[in-house]
Amino acid sequence: MTDPKVTQSEPAPGSTDTQLEPGQARNEVAPPSRSQQVLRDILGGSAMISVLAVVLALLAGGILIALTDKDVQAAAGYFFSRPADTFRAIWDAVAGAYVALFQGSIYNFRADDFVRGIRPLTETLKFATPLITAGLGVALAFRVGLFNIGGRGQMLVAAGAAGYIGFAVPLPPGIHLVVAVLVGMLAGAIWGGIVGLLKARTGAHEVIVTIMLNYVAFYLISYLLTQQWALQAPGSTNPKSAAMLPTAVFPKILGEQFNLHLGFIVAIAATIWFWYFINRSSMGFRFRAVGENPNAAQVAGIKVKSVYVWAMVFSGALVGLAGVNQVLGTVTSGFTATIDASIGFDAITVALLGRSRPVGVFVAGVLFGALKAGGYSMQAAQGVPIDIVLVVQSLIVLFIAAPPLVRAIFRLPVPGTAPKSRTRKLEVAK
């Protein structure tokens, strides 16, 4: 993967994305027929790359599982006398882990009835919910050319604000939930807006500011969780809040036997809103123009600075929604300063995998939700630490980011048309 030699072969000039094979450049080859061309585009195109990236990452995860499995290690000790044992152990370890992953995330065949069997899928959607909304938030910033690494901070302040309304401010049913959600989103929007404001007013780079604000938010919430007048549960000495009042909790949408709650519907709504906003609204048009070329946008009279501020406000609100989702949907018994569960960082990978398109982000969110849900059952059933999910997740994004690498591994053709952008960022980033 990291062969140092590769960097010494210099990129071809001009449209570097299509590195010409020697034969391709010199000989007059008959132009490919139409159907061949279509096949090439499908094989080399981005959807195929995405699928292959997932396959590659799971493969790498499998290798890790096999290498660290006790039975495999034991069998490898006498590999030369009975090699078949080793392979069987590898198969058992990897297949066992991935079957557990599947059963924990999609359908459990061993369950007694359909309701229990399908439960993992609802768990997947439950885990996917904050990933989708936070992913949309990061994606929105991407579309404006901004890199929102501040998901953690925005989620924490949103969770803190929504949580406070949730346990400390009794309101009538219905209104309570709505107010808590809105206040949480507002808090996320403000925390994101600070970044946009600093970027617009002083040119401070958003990557640095968001990273730093993550820690500021963490220590701020940590502090508030130790204060009786703020977030700490009354009478408690633990840095933990009280449980949410029932009126502020997202209702379960599939009945009490499933954990899936209203937050998922909100995530679907957010996805639809994102589509409309980016593709059909005039503000979204300005967002995209700034994201693709801020100079031209400015010359055309678009107020780039205010777009930066609003983009971070919207982005922070969407990411904040994920924090709200955590305290009002997933962990309603009170929260700590780790309530964000590193979803803020996962959201970056979700947005990248989804190429910052609404449907893409939704699908990517569900996929990573499945990895999480399955990861827990894999840990429980097979003793494979949940951290493997992080490895798989980051590998997927790395592979997605470098299509030539995936093509090289699978010896796929380069798609017919030369992409026009020189920099191979994932289309979305800046």
Per CB under 8 A, contacts with other proteins among 293-312 are 293, 295-303
> Does the protein bind other proteins through residue 58 (CB under 8 A)?
no
Q: How far is the CB of 282 from other proteins (least distance, A)?
A: 4
Inter-CA distances, 336 with 152, 214, 216, 217, 263, Å: 13, 15, 15, 13, 20
Burial label, 258 (beta-carbon count in 10 A; 0-12, 13-18, 19+):
middle
For residue 297, the minimal CB distance to other proteins (Å) is: 7
Give yes or no for residue 172 binding other proteins (CB under 8 A): no
Stretch that binds other proteins, among 128-136, 205-213, 267-275, 365-373 (CB under 8 A): 205-213
Nearest 10 degrees: CA dihedral of 42, 45, 51, 54? 160
- Given candidates 118, 171, 405, 410, which one binds other proteins under the rule CB under 8 A? 405
Residue with tokens 């790395």: 398
Tokens of 34: 């139409």
Q: In the set 283, 359, 380, 409, which binds other proteins (CB under 8 A)?
A: 283
Choose, by CB under 8 A, the member of 63, 83, 292, 338 that binds other proteins: 292
Burial class (CB in 10 A: 0-12, 13-18, 19+), 172: exposed
Secondary structure (3-state) at 127: helix
Residue with Cβ nearer other proteins (83 or 385)? 385
Q: Retrieve residue 72's tokens.
A: 């495999």
Which phi and psi (to 5°) does residue 419 adopt?
Answer: -60, 150
Q: Which amino acid is at 38?
A: V
Binding to other proteins (CB under 8 A) within 149-168 occurs at 149
- Find the binder of other proteins among 363, 391, 413, 416 (CB under 8 A): 391
Q: Kindly tell me which residue out of 402, 410, 413, 416 binds other proteins, with binding defined by CB under 8 A.
A: 402
- Helix, coil or strand: residue 261: strand
Q: Which is nearer to other proteins, 88 or 288 (CB)?
A: 288
| Nearer Cβ to other proteins (252/430) | 430
The answer to whether 20 contacts other proteins (rule: CB under 8 A) is yes
* Interface map 74-113 toward other proteins (x if CB under 8 A): ----------------------------------------
8-state DSSP, 225: T
User: Judged by CB, which is closer to other proteins: 228, or 257?
Assistant: 228
Q: Which residue is listed with tokens 């990933």?
A: 131
Here the tokens at position 252 are 């379960």
Among residues 58, 64, 111, 253, the one that binds other proteins under rule CB under 8 A: 64
CA dist., res. 411 & res. 11, Å (int)? 19
Site track 110-149 with other proteins (rule: CB under 8 A), x = hit? -------------------------------------x-x
Residue 23 interacts with other proteins (CB under 8 A)? no
381 contributes a contact to other proteins by CB under 8 A: no
Rounded Cα distance, 144 and 133, in Å:
17
- 206-265 positions binding other proteins, by CB under 8 A: 207-209, 211-213, 215-216, 219-220, 222-223, 226
CB 210 within 8 A of CB 147: yes
Locus of tokens 């059963």: 103
Which residue in the block uniquely carries the two structure tokens 């709200």? 324
Q: Shortest distance, CB of residue 221 to other proteins, whole angstroms?
A: 9
Q: Which is nearer to other proteins, 10 or 112 (CB)?
A: 10
- Do you know the residue count of the chain? 430
